[in-house]
Structure 1
Amino acid sequence: METQPNLLLEGPRGRRLCLELAMELDSDVRSAVFHLGYELDPGKGTSTVLFALSSGGSEASAPSEEPSVGDLAAALRSIDASSITEEQLAAALQRAVGTARYWQEPDGEDVLAGLPAITAALQPIAGQILATHTGQAWSQEHQAEQWAVDWRSAEDPAPLPRNPQEVLNNWAEGVRSEEAQAALDRPESVYANITGTWWSCPLGIIRTVGAIPAALNLVEDSFGEQEATVIPVYGAGRTLEIHTAEDWISLCRAYPVEVTASRRHDWFHTTGRNGQWVIPDWQRVASEWDAVHLTTMGYLNTAGRALEVHADTATVLAGWDPDSTLWLTDVVREAEVPRQLWSREPNGDVWTRTG
């Protein structure tokens, strides 16, 4: 088994976490990543435009000598990360999750973090992260106390859904129908400008998180919600833990459903792989497991990678937030304690309990 720092650096979200933390710790690294990331960004000059401000608020000129990948690698190796704080780690994790995108090419910073020289230079930082209390907690398994998050207004209360079997039956029918229709309607060329379903998990079943309010900021493809109703829940049953990519691969190998036609375009863009794709058949997974929990380390190691299931098939874990649990059977109950109301300012990161 790989060492823990390597597990962190194998995944694009884990590498981005380390790079974000390095930028938090060193302003020169931040500047170098800013310029190098722009040069590597697939949207350079179009969807991404280089615009920097000096500390006084006026437009800043580019440095007289552009930083190189070698310069950045050397700067990363020189960082002393021995005194990193939980607040810095939380901010870096939030940005790593928030910049995930599985429907287009990775952004310039993700590309930069994936260069072999930069990944190697991030090794000491990865080791320091995992030596912290927070880093160690990222491998923690599903806990009894959980929270379901309802992003609707508190003025629109709703009970927890109690029909997972019906949802999964409809999901399975929908996946197969979409796949058949996509095979007829969509071009086989992965270079076609086509997008569609890109996530790997069913929508509509209960999904819970283990930490509030931290989890409110750890949302892929967030719509920037400013209110959340947080529901305390408890559940018991057979829980599968996803600690590493191997756990996800094993699940896909045991219960595969093909999604090549419906996801080939998006997943080619995000991984560069062209071939057959599968995800877990969640309807069949529910026959063995009541719940599946993705640890934070499992997320950082696994999300966004093209992972070989068999010689001719691969999978991607996408659209599943860290330290969250999917409940596949009707074993979750709302606890007999009040729901909590949380809110934040527009574009803010700090959530405040309001009820």
Structure 2
Amino acid sequence: MEISNALLQGQRGRRLLWEFAVASEAELIPEQNPHPLFEGMFYASYQLEKVRGDGVVMFGLGADDGHKTSVSVDEIAELLELTQLAPVTEKLLISSLNISVNAARYWQEPDGIDTLLDSALLRPQLLRIAEHLAESGQLEPWFGPLDRNAQYRVKFEMPEEEDNTRPVPRTGLESLLTWKEHVIVAEARAAKSSRKSAIGSSSGEWWSAPSLFLDPTCGQFTNGQPVGLSCVEDAFGWERASTILVDIPNSARVLEISSAEQWVNLCHDYCIEVTEQKRHDWYHFTGRDGAWVIPDWLAVSRKYDAVHLSIGAYLALAGRSLTVNDTYATLIAGWDPDTTYWFIDTLRETEHGQDWTCLDVNSEDEHWVRTEKSAS
């Protein structure tokens, strides 16, 4: 998959490109000076969401004038073309990726920025950014297969009352059986509601990954930080976490999802229908009112031990309505970048653990730092 084209194909990839451009503007223009690119998109996305009826509110100094400010997609394109791009650094890439992941929301319409970035008028400018990033060579590891030597489990510190509700650990097979039973029951319950229209105010389970039933692993950035610390869709604002290195068996059969065709073929070969339980949320997100399927992970486990979605594949595929056949489509949703779901029980945690603390939590400056272990 060509990196620049992959970034343009996906909603999350386009958001990464946009955030890199905004970060470039912030780095190259003094803070006290106007930032026309950031400000232009702020007003354009606000007006779009306001017209759409999203219930957005603008307040504070300059709000009266801001309500009247209109910025077109053509103007955004001109601003993007004029924006000087900063040298590519891992810090800027990770920050842009984190913001893109945090903006994903499959239970309602995409936010104003994601909606505007889908405009064909912005493709030439976004392509310039994509080529800038691709030429740096720093994105190549993001499109690679599972790194078997650097797989981590991330355990976020939960409030005590939530921690007590965690399910009892199961084997991989037990987890998959529970997952499939849950999907079947949820589909039957949703069908009983007899909702004739996909338009409504209720929401259901919008994810297609078995995220509540299997214990995943993630890789790490070149700076040593496990990807799963910061790149979490619909995160809960965790402030503390621990990570531990996991031994991966050499014999493990890992299915790599690196293209739309691979995910679609997976749905062809091992599918389970989820139309009734996903239709409402995925209609609002994609605009498609039709039948949906996702992979049957229990069936997949008969051939594979795990499924891995790289960062690059996530940027290209997450949130795209992918056609399976004339009747069904599918969606990758709730599957964090560089996450691998394991169906086997032979993974072993090593003694290489690390504690982490999140600084500037719930802001665009949010980042994780290693916590020094106290002396015993």
Structures share a fold, TM > 0.5? Answer: yes
Q: Decide whether aligned partners of structure 1 residues 43 and 265 sit closer, same or farther in structure 2, where only a CA change above 3 A counts.
A: farther
Once the two structures are superposed, the pairs formed by residues 261-300 of structure 1 within 5 Å of their partners are 261-300=276-315
Once the two structures are superposed, the pairs formed by residues 117-156 of structure 1 within 5 Å of their partners are 117-144=121-148, 145-152=150-157
Matched, 1:235 2:240: no
Shift of 1:3: 4.0
Name which of 45, 60, 64 aligns with 1:37: 45
Cα distance in structure 2, aligned partners of 1:127 and 1:51? 37
The residue aligned with 2:28 is none
Once the two structures are superposed, the pairs formed by residues 1-355 of structure 1 within 5 Å of their partners are 3-26=2-25, 27-41=35-49, 47-51=55-59, 61-62=65-66, 66-81=70-85, 83-144=87-148, 145-152=150-157, 161=169, 163-202=171-210, 203-211=212-220, 212-236=225-249, 237-335=252-350, 337-345=351-359, 346-347=361-362, 349-354=366-371, 355=373
Shift of 1:214: 4.3
Cα distance in structure 2, aligned partners of 1:80 and 1:178? 50
Cα distance in structure 1, aligned partners of 2:345 and 2:96? 35
Shift of 1:177: 1.3
Cα distance in structure 2, aligned partners of 1:40 and 1:64? 12
Cα distance in structure 2, aligned partners of 1:302 and 1:12? 8
Cα distance in structure 1, aligned partners of 2:156 and 2:109? 28
Contact 1:277 1:313 survives alignment (8 Å)? yes
Q: Decide whether aligned partners of structure 1 residues 46 and 14 sit closer, same or farther in structure 2, where only a CA change above 3 A counts.
A: closer
Contact 1:21 1:88 survives alignment (8 Å)? yes
Cα distance in structure 1, aligned partners of 2:337 and 2:233? 9
Question: What secondary structure does 2:256 align onto?
Answer: strand
Deviations along 1:182-223, one digit per CA (max 9) or x if unpaired, are 111141301122211110011221211111244311110000
Cα distance in structure 2, aligned partners of 1:13 and 1:186? 33
Q: Decide whether aligned partners of structure 1 residues 42 and 244 sit closer, same or farther in structure 2, where only a CA change above 3 A counts.
A: farther
Aligned amino acid, residue 140 of structure 1: G
The number of equivalent residue pairs is 349
Contact 1:40 1:108 survives alignment (8 Å)? yes
Cα distance in structure 2, aligned partners of 1:279 and 1:28? 42
Q: Decide whether aligned partners of structure 1 residues 63 and 201 sit closer, same or farther in structure 2, where only a CA change above 3 A counts.
A: closer
Cα distance in structure 2, aligned partners of 1:240 and 1:272? 30
Where structure 1 has 5 or more consecutive residues not aligned to the other structure, the ranges are none
Between 81-90 and 268-277, report the one with greater CA deviation. Answer: 81-90
Aligned amino acid, residue 146 of structure 1: Q
Cα distance in structure 2, aligned partners of 1:7 and 1:266? 25
Question: What secondary structure does 1:325 align onto?
Answer: strand
Shift of 1:37: 1.0
Aligned amino acid, residue 240 of structure 2: E
Deviations along 1:86-122, one digit per CA (max 9) or x if unpaired, are 2111111110000000000110000010011113321
CA RMSD of aligned residues (A): 2.5
Aligned amino acid, residue 339 of structure 1: G
Question: What secondary structure does 1:318 align onto?
Answer: coil
Shift of 1:63: 9.9
Where structure 2 has 5 or more consecutive residues not aligned to the other structure, the ranges are 26-34
Cα distance in structure 2, aligned partners of 1:351 and 1:147? 15
Q: Decide whether aligned partners of structure 1 residues 271 and 45 sit closer, same or farther in structure 2, where only a CA change above 3 A counts.
A: closer
Shift of 1:82: 5.9
Contact 1:15 1:119 survives alignment (8 Å)? no
Cα distance in structure 1, aligned partners of 2:321 and 2:191? 21
Shift of 1:327: 0.5
The residue aligned with 2:31 is none
